[in-house]
């Protein structure tokens, strides 16, 4: 039998047990202390995260308005369609959900199937679903007894005018955050603050058996009021889109209308553009080209095409301004007194500068010309002389003073700046720069500088948002015009305006004229010197025109540029000026500026309607506008195939002529009714009722029983709707006076 432990051993064992217990409980207490005291807040937070379900309540994004309160972008109620995979009863219901939601929402079945096979209670199938589709989903779930489909209310961004001012307004991304344009620049103001609904849930996502709900309300965003005018923007976009078609413009077109006295942007457009409601959708022609690429290159090409489509050409793309820049050279030369209104210039078809020959567009020269004539003729050698007389120092000082060495600071994202000589300008640089070549400006820089040249010399910072308003319409913040500096004198500016007016009345800008209005302007045809063909020659051009209206009291400046118009003659006078003239013909009356016709204009308005069939629409508009007629275009084509009234018809000034660009839309000819022997009232009813126009001849207001005795065209002839029928009247025989 072994020995029992000695008393010492027992004490050692007892001591060891006590020590182990002490150490163990000490560690336990230390751990509990750390968990319950030191780290308690962190574990409470983690527990709350596991037990609380947070539902985000989207804030309503503020609207984007034009200056008259028209909504260009707005938020509307939408829904998020969700499915609860854990609540799907069986395989049959799953299959029904997959096919049904796929068809209604236009999503792939594989996508819905993957969502339905998740092991949880919440999967999003599609966000920002409109009312009609949401109602279809509800009806589908109700009719099939499906309880695992439900909808959550959300907000969606809506652009009611579709591609209207798209590159200016921009769009929001899938998170309803501004991604481009004003949506991006003013995102913080527009977006507001999202709210939260916090509720207790168990690990399965079900409500806990005790109440816990707390609501943090969302705060809707403020709205912004822009300086854009919906009417002016419409006229600009209408004519710009047509010009792109007429001239097959390859690298897009842009136009800016600015209030010369404040810097406010009244219209800004780029064509082609996009619909912000579906901003990732490319034009079909672009899609077709991308599909021709190897499959592994298509995704990158698609993204590149989208970025190009979203780009605001009016502020983001510097270009060589060409002869439109001569306005700035003219203003600087006059203000620096290096050139005077009485100077003359001789053009022999070229100028020699630093052993280099620089040609004029008129190869045999303009001969001797005044300063005004040099501007009218857009003579490069004359402006080389003007620039060299000014000198490098003066030229650079005015170039900087007009704001052309830096960004304008317009409240839009993506503004670029000029590309200019940074290491000193040489004599040859000065010569080419004087007529707008070998450097680049953005359209917004150029239109801002020209506004200063014609408004009395004041350079304003361009801006496109005038105020921020709350949901109830109260003003949160208001933005006033910002005067940067005075660049030239009022007297110089007046002289510039007078010379620019002669460009439209007597020079290369005649096709921009609008009867009754004094228009100033300058044509531009710039070479894209950095893009040559396989033979090393420049064969790509930017055709442009800048107009000032009214020339005697400027209210607006309009700059239009067509980048790579596909024409044998790409001159701005041929391509761009007629488009700006058509814009001004719509814009100036819309602005409430009354026409004041000269005798020469009134004389030109008399006569018969000219034949414009076969002409490009804007060329036809120019011809008819100068005759004093209004024009309506029917069809989406670019060439006139028919007109009504027909050529050689007599139509008073102010009358409307309809131009047809699609033969399928030309109305059928109308048979002229026989009105001989009818009274004035009967003739009027017969002619107007047939869809024709009536011209009365020989009608006396005091006489009664007047009858028609002659009509032209004759009864039975087939004519176009709207044709004027001349009807001559006389008195019935029983009312004819006797001999004595």
DSSP tally for the chain: helices H, then strands E: 24, 31
Instruction: Give the E-state strand segments of 473-608 in sequence order.
Output: 475-478, 482-486, 520-527, 541-549, 556-563
Among 674, 710, 677, smallest CA distance to 695 is for 710
Give dist(CA 53, CA 582) in Å, integer.
60
Beta bridge partner(s), residue 201: 207
Q: How far apart are CA 362 and CA 482, in angstroms?
A: 42
Residue 197 CA to residue 215 CA, distance in Å, equals 5
Q: Are 640 and 600 in contact (CB under 8 A)?
A: no
Could you tell me which of 163, 167, 199 has the C-alpha nearest to residue 182? 167
**Distance between CA 153 and CA 76 in Å, rounded?**
11
The β-bridge relationship of strands 223-226 and 64-65 is: parallel
User: Helix, strand or coil for residue 537?
Assistant: coil
Q: Are 519 and 501 in contact (CB under 8 A)?
A: yes
Identify the DSSP state of 588. Answer: H
Q: How far is CA 169 from CA 228, 269, 349, in A?
A: 10, 10, 46
276 Cβ contact partners less than 8 Å away, ≥ 6 residues apart:
73, 157, 159, 162, 163, 166, 169, 170, 171
Per-residue DSSP letter, 268? E
Any residues with CB less than 8 A from the CB of 53 and at least 6 apart, and which? 198, 199, 200, 201, 205
Instruction: Quote the CA–CA distance of 116 and 458 in Å, as a whole number.
Output: 65
The catalytic site residues sit at 323
57-94 core/surface letters (b: 16 or more CB in 10 A; e: else): bbbbbbbbbbbeebbbbbbeebbbbbbbbeebeeeebb
Measured distance CA(78)–CA(152) in Å, rounded: 9
Distance separating alpha carbons of residues 503 and 500, to the nearest angstrom: 5
């Amino acid at each position: 039998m072994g020995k029992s432990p000695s008393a010492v051993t027992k004490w050692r064992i007892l001591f060891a047990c006590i020590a182990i217990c002490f150490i163990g409980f000490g560690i336990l207490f230390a751990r509990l202390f750390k968990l319950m005291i030191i780290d308690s807040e962190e574990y409470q937070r983690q527990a709350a995260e596991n037990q609380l379900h947070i539902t985000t309540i989207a804030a309503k994004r503020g609207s984007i308005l034009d200056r008259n309160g028209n909504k260009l972008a707005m938020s509307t109620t939408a829904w998020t369609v969700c499915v609860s995979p854990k609540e799907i009863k069986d395989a049959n219901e799953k299959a029904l959900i997959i096919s049904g939601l796929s068809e209604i929402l236009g999503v792939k079945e594989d996508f819905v199937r993957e969502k339905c096979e998740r092991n949880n209670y919440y999967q999003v199938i599609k966000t920002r679903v409109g009312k009609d589709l949401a109602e279809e989903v509800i009806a589908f779930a109700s009719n099939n007894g499906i309880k695992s489909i439900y909808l959550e209310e959300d907000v969606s961004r809506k652009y009611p005018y579709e591609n209207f001012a798209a590159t200016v307004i921009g769009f929001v991304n899938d998170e309803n955050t501004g991604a481009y344009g004003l949506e991006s620049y003013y995102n913080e103001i527009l977006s507001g603050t999202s709210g939260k609904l916090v509720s207790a849930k168990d690990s399965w996502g079900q409500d806990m058996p005790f109440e816990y709900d707390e609501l943090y309300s969302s705060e809707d965003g403020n709205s912004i009021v822009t300086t854009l005018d919906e009417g002016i923007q419409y006229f600009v976009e209408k004519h710009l889109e047509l010009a792109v078609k007429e001239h097959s413009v390859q690298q897009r077109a842009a136009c800016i209308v600015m209030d010369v006295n404040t810097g406010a942007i009244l219209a800004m457009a780029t064509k082609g553009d996009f619909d912000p409601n579906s901003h990732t959708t490319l034009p079909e022609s672009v899609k077709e080209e991308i599909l021709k690429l190897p499959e592994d290159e298509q995704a990158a090409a698609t993204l590149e095409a989208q970025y190009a489509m979203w780009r605001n050409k009016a502020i983001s793309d510097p270009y060589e301004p060409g002869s439109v820049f001569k306005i700035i050279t003219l203003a600087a030369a006059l203000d620096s007194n290096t050139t005077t209104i009485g100077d003359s210039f001789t053009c022999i078809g070229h100028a020699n500068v630093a052993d280099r020959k620089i040609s004029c567009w008129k190869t045999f020269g303009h001969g001797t010309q005044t300063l005004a004539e040099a501007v009218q003729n857009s003579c490069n050698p004359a402006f080389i002389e003007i620039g060299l007389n000014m000198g490098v120092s003066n030229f650079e000082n005015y170039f900087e003073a007009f704001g052309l060495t830096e960004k304008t600071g317009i409240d839009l994202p993506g503004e670029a700046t000029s590309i200019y000589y940074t290491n000193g300008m040489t004599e040859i640089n000065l010569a080419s720069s004087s007529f707008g070549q070998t450097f680049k400006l953005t359209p917004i820089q150029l239109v801002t500088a020209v506004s200063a040249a014609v408004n009395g010399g004041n350079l304003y910072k361009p801006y496109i948002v005038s105020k921020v308003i709350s949901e109830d319409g109260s003003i949160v913040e208001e933005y006033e015009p910002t005067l940067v500096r005075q660049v030239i004198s009022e007297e110089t500016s007046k002289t510039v305006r007078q010379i620019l007016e002669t460009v439209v009345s007597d020079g290369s800008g005649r096709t921009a004229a609008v009867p009754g209005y004094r228009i100033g302007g300058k044509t531009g045809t710039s070479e894209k010197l950095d893009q040559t063909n396989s033979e090393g020659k420049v064969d790509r051009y930017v055709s442009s025109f800048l107009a000032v209206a009214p020339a005697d009291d400027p209210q607006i400046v309009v700059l239009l540029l067509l980048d790579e118009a596909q024409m044998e003659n790409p001159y701005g006078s041929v391509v761009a000026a007629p488009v700006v003239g058509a814009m001004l013909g719509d814009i100036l009356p819309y602005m409430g500026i009354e026409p004041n016709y000269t005798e020469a204009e009134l004389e030109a308005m008399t006569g018969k309607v000219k034949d414009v069939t076969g002409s490009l629409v804007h060329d036809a508009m120019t011809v008819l506008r100068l005759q004093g007629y209004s024009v309506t275009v029917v069809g989406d084509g670019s060439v006139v195939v028919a007109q009504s009234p027909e050529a050689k018809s007599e139509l008073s000034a102010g009358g409307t002529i309809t131009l047809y660009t699609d033969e399928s839309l030309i109305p059928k000819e109308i048979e002229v009714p026989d009105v001989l022997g009818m009274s004035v009232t009967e003739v009027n009813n017969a002619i107007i009722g047939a869809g024709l126009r009536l011209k009365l001849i020989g009608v006396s207001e005091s006489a009664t029983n007047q009858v028609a005795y002659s009509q032209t065209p004759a009864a039975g002839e087939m004519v176009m709707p709207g044709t004027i029928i001349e009807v001559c009247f006389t008195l019935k025989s029983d009312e004819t006076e006797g001999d004595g």
